[in-house]
Amino acid sequence: MPSQTSSSYPQVIVAGMPRTGTESMKQALEMLYGKGARAYHMTEVLNRPKHLKFWSDLAFEHRQANQADWKQLLKGYIATTDLPCAFYFKELAEAFPDAKVVLTIREESEWFESYCRIITATHRFRSLRFLPPLNRFWPYAAKLNQIVFGDNALSESGPVQEVVVDAYRQHNERVRQSIAPNRLLEFNVRQGWKPLCEFLELDVPQSDFPHSNAGTAGPSRIISRAVLQLSSSRVLLVFGIVFVLSMILLSITMKA
């Protein structure tokens, strides 16, 4: 299989919404493009403060990124997957005109159920959002969800299906209308290697196509990994402070 990691910039832009196999695509593209290849994913935003600052400026300050900005941000990545890159697919396609675009798709009701699971999994960790790096990431993630799915996507009882699914449809249609047909592949990860490799003009690997985060446990694993990336020293410090404050409050209460 030819190695194509010599490129310093994305050769593939995965424009599909989250929960359409974006992490599987990340792993698949890293396998296809050889040792050392890296694909951009939401986890990069969480783990890299400068990247989070870049995306936050776009979301909160309505800043516009130019080609030089995109090249600086994505230098060293062979591909982009998942949000927030998928939402900015058109800008990325213009910044990297030689990159091919893959629209990952999934049956709508199945996709919505998976989206609900990631929202539920996120809220399980809501009490930890004050811990770094979640304290920096949480406001941005909420803002991005609002930008992508709209102000009315979430109610007190959870995601509003008609609103969220409509946003999913509109996004996919925007990709179809914006990208030239010969540059675009609509792809379901269940199709496996063949259509993807034919589109990218790469050899089909002998190994199975990766299927990450399948099933109901996938969203929880994503959030759990984020929490585990908190440094132990910070966690101990925060919980130590909480413990001390609790003891002080308990002492005051007992004396009252």
DSSP 177-224: HHS-GGGEEEE-GGG-HHHHHHHHT-PPPSSPPP-TT-STTHHHHHHH
pLDDT for the residue 194: 97
**Which fold is adopted by the domain 12-255?**
Rossmann fold (3.40.50)
pLDDT for the residue 3: 44
Q: Which residues of the chain have pLDDT under 70?
A: 1-7, 213-256
Domain borders along the chain are: 12-255
- Please give the model's pTM, rounded to 2 decimal places: 0.83
Centre a 10 Å sphere on the Cβ of residue 33 and count the other Cβ atoms it contains.
Answer: 24
pLDDT for the residue 46: 84
Per-residue pLDDT tens digits for 196-228? 999 999 999 999 999 876 544 444 555 555 555
Tell me how far CA of residue 128 lies from CA of 157, 165, 168, 235, in angstroms: 21, 29, 29, 10
SS3 state of residue 102: strand
